[in-house]
Amino acid sequence: MQEDSILSHIDLAASAAPAPKAAPVTPTSDAILELVLQSLEDDKAEEVVQIDLRGRSSMADHMVICSGRSSRQVASIAEKLLDRLKETFRLTARVEGKDAGDWVLIDTGDVVVHVFRPEVRDFYQLEKMWQMTTGGGRA
């Protein structure tokens, strides 16, 4: 009888214990790219260019370049993308230039995103440089 009571107590304690947390899943570069492209489309980014860097650069697997019509839209596109990356993948990307809103660089590690005002994008012509060195890109 006493043995049944002890086993019953052990069963209750085991069922009350919290389940172990699953290890966080690291998103693939393709999953991050998909979220980036969808976010840019949702926020009306213009002239979105995707450049595949796999096997061509150790910097990242993908580069995405786009434009916003104004500094305010550039900053908004970047902010919403950062929020979606954090919400979806619990990913905190490195970001530069968000306060100025002329050129925002978002580095997720696997995907690098450049959001430009059109005049700044024309000046730097970043996608032309990368498309020449990598053999092409995809719009």
pLDDT tens-digit readout, 81-118: 999 999 999 999 999 998 888 999 999 999 999 999 99
Percentage of the chain beyond pLDDT 90 is 63
Enumerate domains of the chain plus CATH numbers: 27-134 (3.30.460.10)
* Neighbour tally for 92: CB within 10 Å: 10
How would residue 62 be classed by pLDDT, with cut points 50, 70 and 90? very high
* Per-residue pLDDT, 81: 97
pTM given for the model: 0.77
Helix (H), strand (E), coil (C) string for the chain:
CHHHHHHHHHHHHHHHCCCCCCCCCCCCHHHHHHHHHHHHHHCCCEEEEEEECCCCCCCCCEEEEEECCCHHHHHHHHHHHHHHHHHHHCCCCEEECCCCCCEEEEECCCEEEEEECHHHHHHHCHHHHHHHHHCCCEC
Pairing of strands 111-116, 62-67: parallel
